[in-house]
Structure formats: structure tokens, C-alpha cells
Amino acid sequence: MPLNSIYRFRLSLIPGGLLSILLLFLAFSIFFILFSSIDNKDFFSSIITSRILDLVKFTVYQAFLSTLFSILLGTALAWALTHQNSFKGRSYLIALLSSSLILPTLIVVFGIVTILGQNGWLNRALLYLFDYSFENSIYGLSGILIAHVYLNASFVARSLLHVFESIPKERYKLAKSLNFSTIQRFIYIEFPAIRLSLRSISSTVFLLCFTSFAIVLTLGGSPSYNTLEVAIYEAIKIDFDIPLALKLAFIQLSITIVLVFLSANFKVGISDIKTSTQKIPWLETKKLKTLQISIILFSSILFILPLVSILIDGLSANFIRIFSDIVFIESFITSLVIASTSSVLTVLFALLISDTRRNFNINHRINKTKFRSFLNMIIAFSGNIYLAIPSLILGLGFFLLSLKFEAPLSFWAFGSVLCANILMSLPFALSILYPPMVNVAQRYDKLSFSLNLKGSKRWLYCEWPYIKSSVLYVFALSFCLSLGDLGVITLFGSDEISTLPWYLYNLMGSYQTKDAAGVALILLILTLSVFIFLPKIFTRKKDV
């Protein structure tokens, strides 16, 4: 029975293929809407101004510094955790690192301001103990870098930890027998193992920092610390300068598209794989052990303290007033509806695209050709267009549509936020679901054909048992990313429609600190509860 038959896999190719075409059409539509809105003949001749150049320079500069510090701290922490794998609380710290990516950005900002702000814990402690306080404001480049490092260093550490622990222990034994120093061990054994992952992770972190919006919006403090995305928001929301917003969007798109094509085939390094606790046959010196423990303690304090501050300050909030606020109730319900809907659609889209894409990576399904590789790249790109088209530019496209076609503002707001949340979660969902779906096809295709397992039966008996835990993990991840997103809603947020992050942002902007702390605590508890407990509904099984 010949396996090289596209017809046999038509039900696998068509749905995901059509979805990929739809996503690419959406990207093309956004480009078309933006360019068709340009009616100034001097648009391109006046696109490079000193103000725009300053915006580009600062956007690249802060992204570079954020990436550099995140990589340095994240790599150091992953290295320290690899060699100190027997202390109590290690598993909880790793769980915290895993959850850092899904923490709502405003929660991180609120926690950092609570600790390092002008009236923060640190300043108050210094005043009490030494009658001294630092004058430097958390707002500006320093605040942006601290928030970015908080979110991304933990992501780097969690991604690299699995790579470190995958290094064969025999290499450490060989290095020990050759009497390698610690530096030689890192240069010749560990760095070659993590080099490729570092490149992919670095490009991902740079893209995340380059397109960062909420952190810069809340911690920038002045126009001199604006990035392209924040400048687009201000051009639309504050100045209503659509031509300027279009110029900035054009530059942003041009840069992000180039970065995506240079970023290791659109790989996003996130996984729910459990780490190993196998001991490395290498006895660390006392000084080195002290250094590794110090790195772990410093990082733990850095990651935990802002969350603790939210917990302590949040408990003092007036929850009766918060829960009786109609705007809060509407924001809460809207956030849950959008997060639930986007999570279901994200899982469905990721499954369909993964099901289609694996046909182009398995030789017994479709013969290996250059055309197959090209189609594989196109399908991969379709699921990662968010990296090339950030949410605020997507929102700008919907905003321009809302000006041309009359419809309730809530319709455009709901549609744009839902679309942005799906596209934001899809790269992560694909990176988690695609590998196990390829493994299932490679291992069980021939058996399925011999047993005549097709359609729903194959899914029920072959696919689902293998990927069910990953599906729940993707759902939880998508839900949390959607729940805490403050992007497109900033363009459409109003009395008609509001989400929890937008509600929290308004509280922070109006200096209602206690209520803001309470809302931040609610958002934190809801996010962590979904992320931690939902994937545990199904007991994890070992790879089949």
C-alpha cells in the first residue's frame, strides 16, 4: 500500500492549509489597509525625520540592552541551577520561572514600582534605617530594563535549563579526567551545547523587547523614552495624527519582518518539559558553590519580591468596593470571555496548522523536494505572523477599518482584541504542539493504515492520548497570555468595552493605588491558578 499519496492525507492538508491561507490573507489585508490609507505624495520622502530616527535608535537600544542583560542573568541562573540541583525549593523556583512568561505585564510593572518606586519598599526601608533615599526615578530607561529583565531573564533561564541538563554526563566525566577548570568546562563542554539555543532565544527576546508596549507605556515616563509602538499609540490616541502613525507602523513592520526572517526559522523556545535532577559527576569548589548559590538567591529575590509585594499590598485593598464597581464586573466578564474564546481558537488553529505542516516534514507522506520545503516555510510563517505584525499595528489596521465602515465600537474592539490574542499565542502553541504531533505521525502512521484508523477514530485512539497534556498546557498558556494583554485594547478601550488590564491601567493612571493593588492581586491569582492547575487535570504520561 503506497504511502506517498497526497490524496490519502487530504483531510490533514486541507483544513490547516486553508487556515494558513486565511492568516496570510489577514497579514496582507493589514498591509493593504495601511498602505491604502497613505494619501500623502510626500509620505516616503518625509518618512525619515530626526524624531523618527530617535525613536528607532531608542527602540533598538533598549531592546539590545534588555536582551543582553536578560541573556547574561538567565544563562548564569540556568548554569547555577544545573550544578546546584539538590536544594529545597528548586522545583518551586523552576515553576516560577516557567510562569514568568504568562504574568500580565502590568502586574510586573506594579510590583516593580511597589518595590523600587519613589515611595516604594526600598526607599522607605532606607529612610527608616539610614535616613536616606535614592532620588533616581524608576521611570525611564532603568525601569524599562528592569521590567524586561524580570520577564525575559526567567524565560531564558527556563529555556536553557533543559539544554544544560541534556548535556551527556560522560562529557563532564571526560572534562574531569582532563582536569578542566570551571572556565574550560564552560567553554569546551557547556557553551557549545547551548550556543544554538542561545541564538534562537536571543532573537526571540530581542523581538519581544523591540515590540514591547505596556512596559514602555507605563515605565517610560517621558517622550524621550518612547519606542515605536508607544509612539504609534500616542499618535492615534492622543494626537490623532494618522499619517505619523502610518509612518511609524511602516518602519516598525519593515524592521520586524527582517528580524523574523533572521530569527532562526521563527522558533519560539518554550516548553512544559520537566527538568532532570540527575547529578553531574563534578564536585564544585567551595568558592564556586558559593557563587552559584548567590546567583540563585539573587535571582529568587528578584523574581519573587514583586509578586510578594502585590500579595501584601493587594490584601489591604477594599474588595467590597472593587467587586461592587460595575466597570470592574464588566471588565472581568469581558476578559474571561475573550480569554476563553481566544484559547479555544488558538488550540484549534495550532492543531490544524501542525497537522498540515507535519505532512511537509515526513518523507513517507510527501517526498522531499524544494517545493515541499518552501510550502513548509510558508505554513510555519503563517502561524508566526504576530512576530512580524505586532498587536498595536494589527490594532491600527482594525482602527482604520472602524473609521471606514460603520459598526459599534464594541464590535471592532472585541474583534481586534480577540484576533491579536490568538496571533500572540499561536507561535507558542505551535512550538509546543507541533513536535509531539510529528512524533505521533512518524511512529503510528503505518500502524494506523494497517488498522484502517481514520478521522475521529485515529484522533481518539492515536493522537489524543499522546498530546492531551500539551493541549491543556497550550490552553492554559493562551488563556493567561490573553487575560493579561494590554495592547490593542489601549486603542479601543472606553466606557463601552474594557478588560482587566485596561481597568488596572486606568486605576494606576489615576493614582488609585490601593484599588489597583487589589485588582492586580485578583489578576495574579486568576492567572497563576489557571496556568498551574488547569494542565494538571490530565495526569501526564510518559512518551509513548
Q: What is the rounded distance in angstroms from the CA atom of residue 396 to the CA atom of residue 254?
A: 16
Q: What is the rounded distance in angstroms from the CA atom of residue 265 to the CA atom of residue 261?
A: 7
| Predicted pLDDT of residue 267 | 46
Q: What is the rounded distance in angstroms from the CA atom of residue 223 to the CA atom of residue 536?
A: 45
Longest dimension (CA), the chain: 83
| Predicted pLDDT of residue 10 | 61
* Spatial CA neighbour of 339 closest among 174, 476, 540: 476
| Predicted pLDDT of residue 397 | 82
Q: What is the rounded distance in angstroms from the CA atom of residue 518 to the CA atom of residue 4?
A: 59
Q: What is the rounded distance in angstroms from the CA atom of residue 386 to the CA atom of residue 485?
A: 14
| Predicted pLDDT of residue 340 | 93
| Predicted pLDDT of residue 367 | 67
DSSP 8-state class, residue 383: T
Q: What is the rounded distance in angstroms from the CA atom of residue 67 to the CA atom of residue 288?
A: 26
- CATH for 49-315 is 1.10.3720.10
Give the residue carrying C-alpha cell 510586573.
108
Q: Residue 439's Cα: distance from chain center in Å?
A: 25
Give the chain's radius of gyration (CA, Å). Answer: 24
pLDDT in tens, 466-494: 888 888 888 988 999 888 888 788 877 76
pTM, 2 dp: 0.81
pLDDT in tens, 403-419: 777 777 778 888 888 88
Regions of the chain with pLDDT less than 70: 1-11, 39-47, 135-136, 261-283, 363-367, 452-455, 494-495, 537-544
Q: What is the rounded distance in angstroms from the CA atom of residue 62 to the CA atom of residue 34?
A: 27
Alpha helices in 451-512 (DSSP H): 455-458, 464-483, 489-492, 500-509
* Spatial CA neighbour of 194 closest among 67, 62, 82: 82
| Predicted pLDDT of residue 271 | 44
| Predicted pLDDT of residue 266 | 42
| Predicted pLDDT of residue 67 | 94
Q: Which residues contact 184 (CB under 8 A, 6 or more apart)?
A: 175
